[in-house]
């Protein structure tokens, strides 16, 4: 598969065209950003870890019947995947209250939620990714029908139903995570982007230690060691 022109550069990945119009290549960068790009850094090897973790999780989800954009991992920093029209909604799934949920609603950090919460944010950096309800999403034309919003929620819950017990078995609490979706050439809604400690929160079940990008957000250090731990636990090492 030939890597062609740069289509888009985001904060964590570069997207490249290929010789197949339906396929693109993501290059996972070592850059780290938080607080909507205000805090910046870089950690050698972070991109490769996220590529490998995402690869394993996309394979797991595909094997469990979730349609994803994943085709294959090409090398340490590159993933080949289906090209979609991105749905500009960040789908947030929460099992335990922390971060902005605790801050905005005053729910004490670490509270186990009575049921899994699924929220929508508008994927719009200029606006600071504000919260959306279904009517906002329809008024903005982010999807065409209510059914599609229901489908996003359903798929996000299915992903949680697969990943939460999977990580629990590996000694990690899946606290919350952000998913992105898009429409493929046939209009099917599929899971896209990446599933990594950059956009999931993992807490060690025994020690409570944070094993995700909060180490960077909160200046805790040891980010790469934590990401390596997550990959090793996925690989059963």
Ligand X SMILES: Nc1ncnc2c1ncn2[C@@H]1O[C@H](COP(=O)(O)OP(=O)(O)OP(=O)(O)O)[C@@H](O)[C@H]1O
Q: Which of 46, 52, 69, 201 binds ligand X (CB under 6 A)?
A: 69
Smaller CB separation from ligand X, 27 or 119: 27
| Binding window for ligand X (CB under 6 A); candidates: 5-13, 151-159, 171-179, 215-223 | 5-13
- 119 makes contact, choosing from Mg ion, ligand X, none, with CB < 5 to 8 Å by partner type, with none
Residues 208, 61: Cα–Cα separation, whole Å: 26
Q: Which of 46, 52, 78, 83 binds ligand X (CB under 6 A)?
A: 83
- What 8-state DSSP symbol labels residue 69? S
Binding site for Mg ion (CB under 5 A): 12
Draw the binding track, 16-55, toward ligand X (x: CB under 6 A; -: no contact). --------x-------------------------------
Three-state DSSP at 212 gives coil
- Does 15 help bind ligand X (rule: CB under 6 A)? yes
Smaller CB separation from Mg ion, 12 or 175: 12
Cα 145 to chain center, whole Å? 24
E strand or H helix at 105, and its extent?
helix 99-105
Residues 205, 150: Cα–Cα separation, whole Å: 31
Q: Which of 132, 192, 226, 230 binds ligand X (CB under 6 A)?
A: 192
Neighbour-count burial for 162-187, b at 16+ CB within 10 Å, e otherwise? bbbebbeebebbbbbbbbbbbbbeee
Smaller CB separation from ligand X, 21 or 147: 21
């Amino acid at each position: 598969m030939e890597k062609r022109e740069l289509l888009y550069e985001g904060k964590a990945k570069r997207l490249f065209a290929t010789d197949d119009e339906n396929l693109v290549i993501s290059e996972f960068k070592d850059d780290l950003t938080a607080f909507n790009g205000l805090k910046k850094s870089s950690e050698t090897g972070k991109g490769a870890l996220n590529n490998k973790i995402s690869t394993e999780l996309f394979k797991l989800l595909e094997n469990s019947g979730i349609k994803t954009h994943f085709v294959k991992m090409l090398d340490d920093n590159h993933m080949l995947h289906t090209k979609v029209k991105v749905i500009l909604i960040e789908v947030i799934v929460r099992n335990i209250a922390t971060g902005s949920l605790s801050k905005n609603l005053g729910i004490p950090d670490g509270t186990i939620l009575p049921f899994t919460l699924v929220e929508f944010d508008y994927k719009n950096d200029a606006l600071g990714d504000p919260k959306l309800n279904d009517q906002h999403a329809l008024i903005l034309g982010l999807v065409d029908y209510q059914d599609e919003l229901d489908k996003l929620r359903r798929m996000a819950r299915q992903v949680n139903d697969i990943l939460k017990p999977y990580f629990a078995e590996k000694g990690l609490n899946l606290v919350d995570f952000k998913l992105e979706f898009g429409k493929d050439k046939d209009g099917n809604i599929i899971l896209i982007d990446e599933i990594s400690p950059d956009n999931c929160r993992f807490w060690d079940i025994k020690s409570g230690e944070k094993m995700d990008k909060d180490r960077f957000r909160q200046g805790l250090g040891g980010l790469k060691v934590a990401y390596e731990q997550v990959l090793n636990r996925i690989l059963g090492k």
